[in-house]
Amino acid sequence: INQRRYPCVYSTCDRRMTNFSITSERTVSAELIIRLQDPDCGAVATFSGVVRQHNKDREVTQLHYQSYKTLAVKEGNKILGEAKEQFNIVNALCVHRVGDLNIGETAVWVGVNASHRDAAFNACRYVIDEIKTRVPIWKKEIYVCLCVHTCTHTQTHRHTHS
C-alpha cells in the first residue's frame, strides 16, 4: 500500500483498525482491499463514489473537493468506530479525495469486512451515508458552461443559470 497516498490507513497496523483518510492522490481500490483481508471474515463490502458527467440535467466537467482535514479525519474515524460497534464488523476504511477530480475518478471509497455479508453491507451503507452528512468536505461542481456551484455534502444540489 502506498503510505503517501493513504497516510491514515498506515497510522495503525493492528488487526482491528478503523481509519479515515483524506488524500489528493488517486484512490486504488485493490490496494485498500488488501488491508481488509482477514481469514476470519467471510464478507468484504466496498463502495466507490465516482465522479459522473452530469448533475440535475447539467453537464459536469470536473469536481473540486476541499476539506477541513483535521476535523474531517476526526469525524470520519468516529463514524468508522460507530459502524464497528453497531454492525459487528471487523475492520473499516474510508478514503476521501480532495483537489480536482475528473469524470470517472473515485471521490470516496469505503470498505468494511465482517464475518457475514449483512453486517458488511449494512455497515458500508451506514458509513457512506454518515460521511456525506457529518464530515466537513465541500464539493465544487464545474459545468460545461464554466459556471461553478459549491456545496457541502449535506446540501441539496441546486443551481440556477442565467
Q: ∠ CA 151-103-123 to the nearest 5 degrees?
A: 65
Q: How far apart are CA 126 and CA 121, in angstroms?
A: 9
3-state secondary structure of 121: helix
Name the β-bridge partners of 50.
106
pTM of the full structure? 0.82
In order along its 162 residues, the chain shows pLDDT tens digits of 455 555 544 434 444 455 999 999 999 999 999 999 999 999 999 999 999 999 888 899 999 999 999 999 999 999 999 999 999 999 999 999 999 999 999 999 999 999 999 999 999 999 999 999 999 999 999 988 866 666 655 444 444 343
Max CA separation in the chain (angstroms): 57
Q: Name the helix (H) or strand (E) containing 81.
A: helix 69-87
Contacts of residue 115, defined as CB under 8 A and 6 or more positions apart, other chains included, come to 40, 41, 42, 43, 88, 90
